[in-house]
Amino acid sequence: MNKATVIGGGLAGCEAAWALAERGIRVTLFEMKPNKRTPAHRYNGLAELVCSNSLKAARINSASGMLKAEMRILGSLILEAADKTAVPAGGALAVNRELFSDYVTEKINSHPNITVVSEEITCFPEKDTIIATGPLTSDKMAQAIREKCGDTLSFYDAAAPIVTFESIDMTRAFFATRYDKGEADYINCPMNREEYQRFYNELINAETAPLKEFEDLTVYEGCMPVEVLAKRGEESVRYGCMKPVGLTDPRTGHRPWAAVQLRRENAEGTLYNIVGFQTNLKFPEQKRVFGMIPGLESAEFARYGVMHRNTFLNSPLLLDGRFMLKGSENVFFAGQMTGVEGYVESAMSGIIAGISLAKRILGEAELVLPDGTMCGALCRHVSTENKDFQPMGANMGILPPLEENIKNKQDRYEKIAARGLERLKAAYVK
């Protein structure tokens, strides 16, 4: 029987194993947990979400929504799990992390074509393998990849704190979504101008935790620590994660000067994530500075924010348009280490790598990703020559424009998404 190996049990690895197994390939999935784990991981299950519980916007006229719609066509296990374990999050698709991991773990373990082995792989594979070890690849495996592929690029990634709901002062905070769209799923902590300025000054002067691995701090823009963003200027966070647009403070009847939003972390609503507050502040500083946010004065932190190293390949030199290592005998990469940024994007790369490897093993025609699809655009990003290659998440800017001129942005995006989905449905053959 045809066989393949997947190294890594994160979102990309699980999607890759699932795509292979569903096409009749016998898969051995290697995951080093629970015997060994990275500094960022806590849970023993597969597909553990680390930095956030959100899979971004659900609406079709958004880049992330379009990407998820394409992945559903391709048979995504991760989105099936997300639908089953979703928690209210306005227009976003957010999940209960543990239930999400449990669902994926059960599906993978119960598939007759998948065998999960709890073991760290430390050598580079010869053939018929997908490497999805993630941006926190273990030192020995990272060295094996480095010896085969040359120097890799590194940056720092950060996670936001989580607080308990019962510790939030709801006499100062309020439930709402921007412009009252959807259910009032977010907790909002409003600030007036004076409160914001006091908070801002403490934030930019707070003490950060030391980073020992590199002398130079390289941070990916999509996961910028809030204190680093704040140092770009007094208005930087007020127009970023603390933007008050679309909100009305019920105590004043007016829009606040700034606002901090918290998103539900679990279905029970007992935990909330401070949205956009990825941080590298020392733990006592997080408690002190974030305690200045109205409503969080006595907040109990279920998890403090943390910062860790991420690594990605110089993919344009190494990978083809289906994530296969050029010149290899069916060795693929998948996940954030390929230079796609975000949970959903990482899962997408696993699907593409899994389907593509299955087709090569079975001697079938290559997977077609038509122009105008988000999957295709991201695959082209990681495989097109670029001297200043950086990770890329789904966005409408990487898609070709429409032939017709549609002024309304949401209408235009909806048309772009419809075009991509129609093309993928027409081209994709299981």
Domain boundaries along the sequence of the chain: 3-152+313-427, 159-309
| pLDDT of the residue at 429 | 73
pLDDT for 409 beyond 90: no
pLDDT for 311 beyond 50: yes
pTM: 0.77
Average pLDDT estimate for 367-384? 94
pLDDT for 306 beyond 90: no
**Dihedral sign computed on CA atoms, order 86, 90, 93, 97:** negative
Question: Which range has highest mean pLDDT (71-75, 91-95, 391-395, 425-429)?
Answer: 71-75
| pLDDT of the residue at 134 | 87
Average pLDDT estimate for 6-13? 97
Model confidence band, residue 239 (pLDDT cutoffs 50, 70, 90): very high
pLDDT for 213 beyond 60: no
Of 332, 425, 350, 364, give the one whose Cα is nearest residue 24.
364
The overall average pLDDT reported for the chain is: 91
| pLDDT of the residue at 218 | 59
Average pLDDT estimate for 353-373? 96
Q: Which residues pair with 189 in a beta bridge?
A: 260
- List the CATH code of the domain at 3-152+313-427: 3.50.50.60
pLDDT for 338 beyond 90: yes
Sorted by sequence, the CB contacts under 8 Å of residue 352 that are 6+ apart come out as: 74, 322, 323, 334, 367, 369, 375, 379
The CATH number of 159-309, from 2.40.30, 1.20.1250, 3.30.1490, 2.60.120, is 2.40.30
Quote the percentage of the chain above a pLDDT of 90. 70
Quote the percentage of the chain above a pLDDT of 70. 95
| pLDDT of the residue at 214 | 39
Of 209, 205, 174, 178, give the one whose Cα is nearest residue 191.
174
Any idea which of 259-268, 278-287, 382-391 has the lowest mean pLDDT? 382-391
Q: Pairing between strand 174-176 and 301-303?
A: unpaired
C-alpha 375: how far from its chain's center?
Answer: 15
Average pLDDT estimate for 411-426? 95
Quick: pLDDT tens for 128-178: 999 999 878 888 998 999 999 987 766 777 788 989 998 999 999 999 988
pLDDT for 305 beyond 50: yes
pLDDT for 282 beyond 90: yes
